[in-house]
A and B are shown apart, each in its own frame.
Chain A
Amino acid sequence: MAVMSSAVTNPHQFLQAQNRWHWIEVAFWLATLLPFVLTPSYLSLASQIAITALFALSLDLILGYAGIVSLGHAAFFGFGAYTAGLISKWGWGEPLSGLLIAAFSAAVLGYLMSFIIARFRHLTLIMMTLGLGLLLFEVANKASWLTGGADGLQGVHMWPLLGMFRFDLYGYTAYTYALIVLFLLFLLSRRLTNSPFGLALRGIRENLTRMRAIGATSRSHIRTVYTISAAIAGVAGGLLTQTTETVSLGVVDFQRSADVLVILVLGGAGRLYGGLIGAIIFMVARDQFSGINPQYWYFPIGVLLIAVVMFLPNGILGGLARLVASWRSRSQ
């Protein structure tokens, strides 16, 4: 933030200052505990928000940081969701190991797909991600002997978390569980974005030609981040399955891919908190308007998307950052 005054400080201090926790971040994470006291009847919604935020975080790594557009990110969310559901249906209802297996299987899928994704740019890339996402949807739809097809996967039952905490009707366990997983994976993502690898991802987003000219292994970076992102998306999907004890086709459909894109862009891509803020706004708004025809719900979302692209290129957080910067420079 303090671009001008940093001109003479040494590089180590400057970077350390950037990586240090800001008090707003601490306040944000403390505020995530508020639903337990303020709105205990909305804990189920809160856990859905945490899961969506995690999903958006996973997309942010590839889209916000590495600049790789994806219109099919629900593939990994859905793969994790179905994996977690099937493990439980087949008789193993232990949540944590189930979540790990969901993460691993989504990571494998992401790793395989990354070989395709890393080769393309522009429209072909958009079509590839869209096509692979739709392909997976069709598989889930048609393989109803495995997935339950359009009826959804029945018979998911989770054992108590750590053998002690049942998934209760009010969502105490669900929100606690989702929030802790979100926080841990957020820490991991924060680590990643502050690492040399995170810097390389931003390099890929900024200028791929220049990356080649400094001898960067861009494709292998893309494969790595795609795998990590898929694993996190798989965890989000697995969390949804475990906290709701059902899996519907909706976990892999295009709508979910589009929603998460909207959420991330609305909040601000390329900033870890963008997806989190976007998820809160989006999910709360959708809950408030849940009474209206779902097709009408598209209207404000569409207008919002257009407005963000035209007037707020870096989302809500980007806009706020600009406001703060201009306010600071004026007060100096």
Chain B
Amino acid sequence: MITSLLGILFDGFAYGMLLFLLSVGLSVTLGMMNFVNLAHCSLAMVGGYIAVTLMNRAGWPFFATLPMAFLGAAAVSIVLERLLYRPLYRATDLDQSLLTIGIVFVSIATAAYIYGTAQLPVQLPDYLRGSYQVFGRNFGVYRLFLIGFSLVISIVLVSTLEYTRFGAQVRAAVDNQRMARGLGIDVNGVFAITFALGGGLAGLGGALAIDIVGLDPSFAFAYLVYVLIVVSVGGLGSIGGTFVAAMLLGISDSAGKYYFPQVGAFLIYLVMIAILMWRPAGLFGKR
């Protein structure tokens, strides 16, 4: 009983870490510009496919593909931001949702055209496979790596936002966009960089996710729902909130799959609706 609980917590923690990487960029950009970007997981998918292509077709080692996944997704998000998003910052929620759903559709179709609809396999390096035995439980090496790696990324991220000049500008813009502009902060520029960083993180998450959840063209929508749940429950623009919400979702998802496999995602949706009814701005949201 205890050991199974430990296993669930471990798996849930790893999964939560993944969700955090996937969501944090969306949370910050949504908090700053109020731009409803439903195409965020398409960026994650871009990262995933870049990693798979480099590994399977070009024979790159796994670790070398991760920076490329980050950079590739960041580059795509810069293009999207410049071409499509910028004209719509003042548009309605509906227009923003529709535009970004359109992008999701295009990305799904493009991925299906290039890579087919089957899940793509990845070959992880030997040292990331297998598992350790502790208290008679298996702890997957890859999940351990995922937790450690994501923690490092999160620490880097938080300290960037906390201690650098750029981070201060981002926080000011999230807090009060008008005030930040008044103080002479180039909010659009800050936003573009943040957007690229968030997209890059999503791409990284996408690459890291392949071994856990698989990669196929439906990824762009399937995980969007989870990411949106994390962002809305955590509260827009709140990194801590996003982290807590991602952990909650990751752990309850793996607990749900273990204890109530027949209920499926039902419970997750229910909890999200309940939390949002209780706190419409999310657990840590201000607005």
Contact = CB atoms under 8 A, between A and B. Distances in A.
B97 interface: yes
Interface string A296-326: 1111011111101110010000000000000
Given A124-B281, A297-B109, A305-B102, A142 B262 contact: yes
A293 B112 CA distance: 9
A192 interface: no
A299 B280 contact: no
B270 interface: yes
A211 interface: no
A293 B98 CA distance: 23
Report the interface size class on chain B.
35 or more
In this complex, which of A125, A258, A299 has the most chain B Cβ atoms within 10 angstroms of its Cβ? A299
In this complex, which of B236, B262, B272 has the most chain A Cβ atoms within 10 angstroms of its Cβ? B272
Interface of A is mostly: helix
Report the interface size class on chain A.
35 or more
Contact of A142 (B98, B263, B277): B263
Contacts of B272: 127, 131
Contacts of B269: 131-132, 134-135, 138
A298 B232 contact: no
B33 to A, nearest CB: 12
A307 to B, nearest CB: 8
A73 to B, nearest CB: 13
Given A302-B102, A305-B105, A120 B110 contact: no
A45 interface: no
B101 A305 contact: yes
Contact of B109 (A122, A127, A295): A295
In this complex, which of A125, A128, A131, A303 has the most chain B Cβ atoms within 10 angstroms of its Cβ? A131
A-B pairs, top 8 by smallest CB distance, nearest first, are: A302-B105, A305-B102, A299-B109, A302-B106, A295-B112, A298-B105, A306-B102, A298-B109
Given A124-B280, A126-B36, A302-B101, 19 more contacts: A69-B97, A124-B232, A131-B276, A135-B269, A135-B273, A141-B264, A142-B262, A142-B264, A262-B101, A293-B117, A297-B109, A298-B112, A302-B102, A302-B108, A303-B102, A305-B98, A305-B99, A306-B84, A309-B95
